[in-house]
Amino acid sequence: MTRPTHFRNASGLVPHYRGARKTDQPRPLRTDPRSRSITGRAATFHARTMPSVTAFRFAKDCFAALDAETVAALVAEASDVAVVIDQGAIVRDICVPNRELAQKLGQPESWIGENWVQLLHQASRAKAALFLSDASAGRTGAWHHFNHPGRDGADVPVLYAASSLDDQGRLLLFGRDLRPLSLLQQRLIDAQHKLERDHGRIRQLELRYRLMLQTSPDPLLVVNAATGRVLEVNAALTALTSTAAEALAGIALTDLFATADHARINAVLLATRNAAPHDAPVVSLTDGNGVTLSASLFHDDGTALLLVRLRTDQVLATAHLGGSTQPALLRLIDQAPDAYVVTDAEGRILAANAAFQTMAEIQRPRDLVGQPLDRWLGRGGADLDVLLTNLRQRGSVRLFTSTLAGSSGLATAVEVSAVSLPATPDGAAFGFAVRDIERRVTDSRAGRDLPRSADQLTELIGRVPLKDLVREATDMIERLCIETALEMTHDNRALAAEMLGLSRQSLYVKLHRYGLGDLADVPG
């Protein structure tokens, strides 16, 4: 432990610590009266802690050895374009180290001897005159933006600052290329415009969505697929349940239905989330009214949502075919696994059940109404023409083989039975029953062997000329196509010729050539 000792000075005894550092010892009081001045100390402190950096303080020591060439090189390195002008703004020298900028400006070497102000864009000349006037008066250091006409017609933005060179009025103009900044500003403006357009488009989509939701005659609900809770309902549902939309938002979907139907509703929701096929069950609301429930999955901002549609028994009971009301039969047709379609005399769809909607890959039934049936059924309209002709002549068609293609373009083999319905006030109508037979057709095709010539083609390579191989392969494919067309049309040669894109006479010639069919009734 350090023990203090004492020494005497002008102010009396002062303790002294042996072995202590000099900084730990008490400092004697100053007797200089200037040290007591707050103003004096403040000035000394400011000068010591905040030196001026707006200009070099030792310029003569640092730059005294620089010659003109070195100064010119430093100016060139510090700017994208440097221009020396005289008192009359005439360009005396120029340096453009930025080669890309020099190409944009055209021929900057031709500026020498020209008035610098006249080399600017018309809109920048008035500001340039004031800029040079301030620089000549000694007010330098401020940067100003000017535009030069570019070689390709686009303006070249340059940021200029001026510095006086000598007493003769010459000025040195430092220029910085503003094109990168201008490009960023243009991108920002484009991004803002795009955001505004996207915002307007989203508002329009939201408006259309709400309009369609609220004007739909069917009760609709938007349900969170994960929680099963109602997010939004339309006016038809509030009228059906006699409950305000605010009271329905946030409740569980199953709370709207009888307890006995909760398991069936959850099964439909689960199947919809997993994109599995399912039927639309008839369930009961809490007030006892029966409804048919169906759901479809969609995503909004990464959230899986379900659009649940309800169809009341009243809607099903008021539907009619041929003027006779048959609620039970219509309910059976609407939920049958086979597709059922009703068209007018021209083949345009009037009504269709859920199975046909699924096979056609259409989300909303209203998208089917008014559309021609041959948009999905048949090959190029030929099948529907044959069906309508036979219905007008005979009244019914049984087990007509055709194809049905969904919106994705995938065709499925189907079997069609049709009947002419009794006339209604709206005119004649036809009913079609469409059954999927793709599995049966696939199995029959798998069991049929190709001609032996198809297996032998590869063995003939090197033994038979290529043109003979091609001719034999062509004949084999042509024969297979004719056989398939006759099989699909039940030996209707006129329809087969239309399907193959041949005239009837050409088809008969090929039948003779390949010995196909019963040729006794073939002309010629």
Tokens in use for 132? 């040079």
Whether residue 384 sits in one domain with residue 329: yes
Tell which of 314, 346, 375 closes a domain.
314
Spell out the residues 6+ positions from residue 261 whose beta carbon is closer than 8 angstroms to its own.
Answer: 281, 283, 284
Whether residue 461 sits in one domain with residue 423: no
Give the per-residue pLDDT at 230. 92
Residue 16 lies in a domain: no
Whether residue 453 sits in one domain with residue 419: no
Q: Provide the β-strand partners of residue 157.
A: 147
Give the per-residue pLDDT at 106. 81
Quickly tell me which residue has 């399912």 as its tokens: 278
Whether residue 470 sits in one domain with residue 439: no
Give the per-residue pLDDT at 298. 87
Residue 234 lies in a domain: yes
Q: At 516, which CATH number?
A: 1.10.10
Number of helices (H) and strands (E), helices first, in the chain?
Answer: 18, 19
Residue 81 lies in a domain: yes
Residue 187 lies in a domain: no
Q: How many domains does the chain have?
A: 4
Residue 283 lies in a domain: yes
Whether residue 435 sits in one domain with residue 326: yes
10-residue stretch averages of pLDDT, the chain, 524 residues long: 48 48 50 46 48 71 79 83 88 86 84 89 86 82 85 85 84 87 86 88 83 83 90 88 87 90 88 78 83 86 88 50 51 82 88 87 80 82 82 84 80 86 72 84 53 56 66 81 82 84 85 70 50
Residue 423 lies in a domain: yes
Q: At 170, which CATH number?
A: 3.30.450.20
Residue 40 lies in a domain: no
Whether residue 327 sits in one domain with residue 272: no
Q: What angle do CA 349, 353, 357 make, to 5 degrees?
A: 75
The secondary structure of residue 143, as a DSSP letter, is: -
Range of the domain at 231: 216-314
CB atoms within 10 A of CB 438: 13
Tell which of 418, 443, 468 closes a domain.
443
The secondary structure of residue 119, as a DSSP letter, is: G
Give the per-residue pLDDT at 51. 59
CA 259 to chain CA mean position, Å: 42
Whether residue 357 sits in one domain with residue 395: yes
Whether residue 287 sits in one domain with residue 249: yes
Whether residue 359 sits in one domain with residue 305: no
Q: Are 56 and 153 in contact, with CB atoms under 8 Å apart? A: no
Tell which of 177, 208, 224 closes a domain.
177
Whether residue 140 sits in one domain with residue 92: yes
Burial class (CB in 10 A: 0-12, 13-18, 19+), 259: exposed
Residue 209 lies in a domain: no
Give the per-residue pLDDT at 229. 92
Whether residue 430 sits in one domain with residue 331: yes
Q: CA of 457: how far to CAs of 412, 446, 448, 452, 471, in Å?
A: 31, 21, 19, 9, 11
* DSSP-derived 3-state class of residue 462: coil
Residue type, 316: L
List, in sequence order, every beta strand (DSSP E) within 245-300.
282-284, 290-300
Whether residue 375 sits in one domain with residue 330: yes
